[in-house]
Structure formats: C-alpha cells, structure tokens
Amino acid sequence: MPTIEFPTAIVDLQYPLENFRKALSGKGPVRIVAMGSSSTAGLGNVVAYPPRLELYLRKHYKDDDPRRDIRIEVLNRGKGGEDAPQEVARFDGDIFADNPSLVLWQVGTNVVFRKEQFDFDEVVEKIVEGLELLRGHPTMDIILIDPQYVTAMLFDDNAELSEKMVSAIRSAAQSAKVNLFQRWALMRHWHVYDNASFEQLLAPDDELKLHQSDWSTMQVARALRSAILKATGVTQRCPCLI
C-alpha cells in the first residue's frame, strides 16, 4: 500500500470541539452519533468508519491520556441509499434521543450516485435545514462529512455533479459555522499525489464502484480521529500512515 499523508489544510477542522471536550471531563460515556448512508452503515466485507473511530478514540484515551476512565461510544446511524431528506427525518429518534456531544453527518453521496431518485436543490435545502436543527442543540458539536472520491462518483456527468455537491456542502458548512471533514479532497489527494489507485480505494468485488475499501476506510477513520483530537486540544505526532 502507498505511503499517504493527512495534509493539515485538508484534515484540520475549523472550529474547536468544545462540547466534546466538556463531555470528556464529565461522568458517564462520551457519546458520538454517526449519521449517514451506506459508507457510514458499512458493507459486509468492510468495517465501517464509526466502529473504527470508536476503537481509535478509545485506544487514545486508554493509552495516551491519563484519564483512563473515559469511555467513548460511537453510535452508527447509517442507512444505505439515503441522503439528507431521509436523514433529517431521522434526527429526532437517531440523534437527539441519544443526546450526543458530537454528531458526524456524512451526506451528499446518493444525490449524485442515485441522481434519478433525488432532487439536487431539495437535498441542499435539507442539508441547510439539518444543520440548523443540529445547531439548535447547544450541547452538540457538529462535523459534516462530504462524499467519497471513488470511481462511481466520477463516471460521465457524475464528476461535475459531485464537484457541485462538494461545493454546496462546503458552502452550507461555512454559512452554518460548523466543521467540515473534507473526505472528497482527502481521498483525491491520496489518488493524485500519493499514487493510491482506485483499486486500493475501492472495496473489492464492489460492482457499483462506490464503496471504500477496508484500507481506505481505515485511513479515513484515522484522519478523522486525528482531526477530532486536534480540535479537542490534543497535540499529536505526524499522523502520516502507511
């Protein structure tokens, strides 16, 4: 596998995770909810990013932090085939009911991949609406996650639509003043500058050419872990990985 980088200009979050940091000092589990579609839910032959992130954060707070009693819970609320309209409708039961200190919302993939089923403008409106709802809960931090850079998102006119979606997500995050984890830019960097092939980025035997491989999912989870720790005030060594 290629040696890859986590460029700070891509990975670093814009805003500190104050609510997550406060939860680390409290009692009981520190809860994160991961909302999204199939790349959040995971595939049978690929371990999804939420359980990986839970493992990496638990390991950090067990081995690298003196507060050994911290227990991280990452609740996976991914459902394949959905995008913002269906996900926002699940916020009450799948996010707010669990009162997390951090919400990760992966969005925008299916409006491109299943464009015949979704209206682009409606999805963008629902992203804006969803961010407003999330921001209405002052004890939650928010990280928006944009689409994966994979072959299916680049077929024919999908490339232009993908870039349009990534731009719309960035604008929504900026307007709402919430953090954006730039998965699209990060995976593109690996492909263009670190020579990671699409065969390495894609799950084996995925005829859709849509889902990330176990390897690239692991790298995204590690990059996200690094971003979360840094935004919580943790100084780390260079997170470049092989």
Per residue in 144-167, pLDDT (tens digit) is: 999 999 999 999 899 999 999 999
* CA pair distance 76, 88, nearest whole angstrom: 15
Q: What is the pLDDT of residues 57-77, one digit of tens each?
A: 999 998 887 766 789 999 999
Helices 158-176 & 120-135 angle (0-180, nearest 10): 20
Name, in order, each residue with C-beta under 8 angstroms of 214's C-beta and a sequence gap of 6 or more.
45, 46, 47, 203
Residue 125 lies in a domain: yes
Residue 160 lies in a domain: yes
Residue 239 pLDDT greater than 80, yes or no? no
Residue 237 pLDDT greater than 90, yes or no? no
Looking at per-residue confidence, does 59 or 237 come out higher?
A: 59
Q: Facing residues of 36 across strands?
A: 78
Structural domain of residue 184, as residue ranges? 8-231
What backbone phi and psi angles, to 5 degrees, belong to 241?
-130, 165
Residue 4 pLDDT greater than 60, yes or no? yes
Residue 197 lies in a domain: yes
Percent of the chain with pLDDT over 70: 95
Residue closest to 15 by CA, chosen among 107, 158, 162, 140? 140
CATH number at residue 137: 3.40.50.1110
Please give the pLDDT value at position 236. Answer: 59
Residue 221 lies in a domain: yes
Please give the pLDDT value at position 240. Answer: 46
Please give the pLDDT value at position 91. Answer: 98
Residue 242 lies in a domain: no
Report the pLDDT averaged over residues 29-48: 94
Residue 137 pLDDT greater than 50, yes or no? yes
Please give the pLDDT value at position 205. Answer: 87
Please give the pLDDT value at position 235. Answer: 66
Q: Which residues of 34-65 are buried (b: 16+ CB within 10 A; e: fewer)?
A: bbbbbbbbbbeebebbbebbbebbbebbeeee
Three-state SS string over the chain comes to: CCCECCCHHHHCCCCCCHHHHHHHCCCCCEEEEEEECHHHHCECCECCHHHHHHHHHHHHHHHHCCCCCCCEEEEEEECCCCCHHHHHHCHHHHCHHHCCCEEEEECCCHHHHCCCCCCHHHHHHHHHHHHHHHHCCCCCEEEEECCCCCHHHCCCCHHHHHHHHHHHHHHHHHHHCCEEECHHHHHHHHHHHCCCCHHHHECCCCCCCCCECHHHHHHHHHHHHHHHHHHCCCCCCCCCEC
Please give the pLDDT value at position 97. Answer: 97
Using an 8 Å Cβ cutoff, are 186 and 10 in contact? yes
Q: Side by side, which strands form the sheet with 102-106? A: 72-78, 30-36, 102-106, 141-145, 179-181
Q: How many domains does the chain have?
A: 1
Residue 238 lies in a domain: no
Residue 120 lies in a domain: yes
Please give the pLDDT value at position 52. Answer: 97
**Mean of the per-residue pLDDT values for the chain?**
94
Using an 8 Å Cβ cutoff, are 232 and 20 in contact? yes
Q: What is the largest CA-CA distance in the chain?
A: 51
Q: What is the pLDDT of residues 96-120, one digit of tens each?
A: 999 999 999 999 999 999 999 999 9
* Banded pLDDT at 234 (limits 50, 70, 90): confident
Residue 67 lies in a domain: yes
Residue closest to 224 by CA, chosen among 6, 24, 74? 6
Q: What is the pLDDT of residues 152-210, one digit of tens each?
A: 999 989 999 999 999 999 999 999 999 999 999 999 999 999 999 999 999 998 999 99
Q: How far apart are the first and last CA of the chain?
A: 7
